[in-house]
Amino acid sequence: FVGGAGGDDEEEFLGCELQFMGTSGSVPTRRRNSSSLLLKLGRPDLPGEGRRSALWVFDCGDGAQRQMISGMVPLGRIDRIFVTHLHGDHLYGLPSLICSLASAWQDTSRLKRLHIYGPFGLATFLRMALGINGVVLPFEISIHELASRGRTRDSEAFKAPVLHAERDINGSVTSTVIHPNERGIYNVCLDPRARVRATSIEHTISCFGYVIEETPKEGRLDVAKLQRLGINDRRLYGDVKDGKEVLVPGSPNKLVNRNDVVSPPTRGRKVVILGDTCNARSVVPLAMDCDVLVHEATYSDEETLFALDSGHSTAQMAATFAKKVRAKQLILNHISCRFTEEEVSRILLPQAIKACGSTHVRLAEDFMRVVIPMPQETITREKYNELTGGVLNSAEVGDEKPNIRPRRKRQRLPANHSDEYWEQVGVDKKAIVSV
């Protein structure tokens, strides 16, 4: 990837990589910007649009755009943006980023549509911000709001009045609502390169954790075996790999067995990116055996009560969750500004390593890149078909209590909570009492 707005002559990215643009908590520091994270995906083995490398943004706090420019990020590659929640340190950089994308592509037709996903209220925020700005959008913006359980308002109800400057953006910005299924899982998007699902996680406001599952890699065709069967016409190789019926030469009643000449497919990478949370138990089924888990660790273990009261996690809580989902690598993110960099390495990192019993723990830093290797685990043909041929289904939900966690008084936290609760949030209750 190269810096700047980008163009069609940019070199395609191959592989899967995370790049951190902002790793601080609510307040940025000299070394850590407000929250923002990039996911780069490149799969030349996929057909059609899947061959094109993708650049997705997860959260866009203030100053994120400057970080991207400093990190030589090609803004023109961005076509999907995911917002975990609507706190300013995760959101306020988004309008300026959209304006820059609009300026970059004013005279081109490369970016047709920008997809943005996030909680209820995101469409209203962006309509107001862009309407006041009067930005001229050369592309369409589709805002997909994730419905909290129990909310029944449709997309029309969320259309705030558009403020007029030099141009009415109403026709350029549309919004839809994504409802969870009966298990509380949101089928966010299905891209040729990966599918994204989400669940609601516990914070002081509506907040989500995203699970990105890369498209599995098809098995390799054993050309030598085909040639031994007498199939030398290369035009038939694609038919064999696609599972079409191909006769074995000299045997009019015998078909080529696809499983004999194509190796088993391998699963794609799985990346879990959580927003601010003090309890992410709802995402556990989706996050199991993930390759990378990005989990906030705003506070140290000594500040557990404060963390729970403010809807955040400690290093121990993040590590306990990583152990529960069998994450191959844990990256601690969203570090409180109260820590110096020396204290972060001396306090938070050892606490996380001790809690999860693994050394595969890293502290996120601004501009840090994490390359995620392709797994070598094979999957069945049935699982491959399920992952690559699925259709997004959005189930309506009943009139349940909205999933918004009210603030709790800190002094009441240790009382009236079962052992199961403390186990869910990954906290040693005895340690709480002794603090």
Which positions are catalytic? 89
Q: What count of other Cβ atoms lies within 10 Å of the Cβ of residue 166?
A: 8
**Which residue is listed with tokens 């899982």?**
185
What token pair was written down for 90? 């995760």
Give Cβ neighbours of residue 123 (< 8 Å, ≥ 6 apart): 143, 145, 155, 158, 159, 160, 173, 175
Residues 5/74, Cβ–Cβ less than 8 Å: yes
Q: Which amino acid is at 208?
A: F
Q: How many helical (H) and strand (E) elements, i.e. helices and strands, does the chain have?
A: 15, 17
Residues 241/166, Cβ–Cβ less than 8 Å: no
Both ends of the chain: CA-CA distance in Å? 48
Burial of 323 per CB tally in 10 Å (0-12, 13-18, 19+): middle
CA distance 277 to 318: 10
CA distance 120 to 149: 11
Compute the 3-state secondary structure of the chain and give helix, strand, coil in percent, each to the nearest 5: 30, 25, 45
CA distance 231 to 226: 5
- 56 to each of 59, 224, 268, how far by Cα in Å? 10, 40, 17
CA distance 29 to 19: 18
The closest alpha carbon to 194, from 394, 44, 388, 393, belongs to: 388
CA distance 96 to 172: 17
Q: Is the dihedral of CA 188, 3, 87, 339 positive or negative?
A: positive
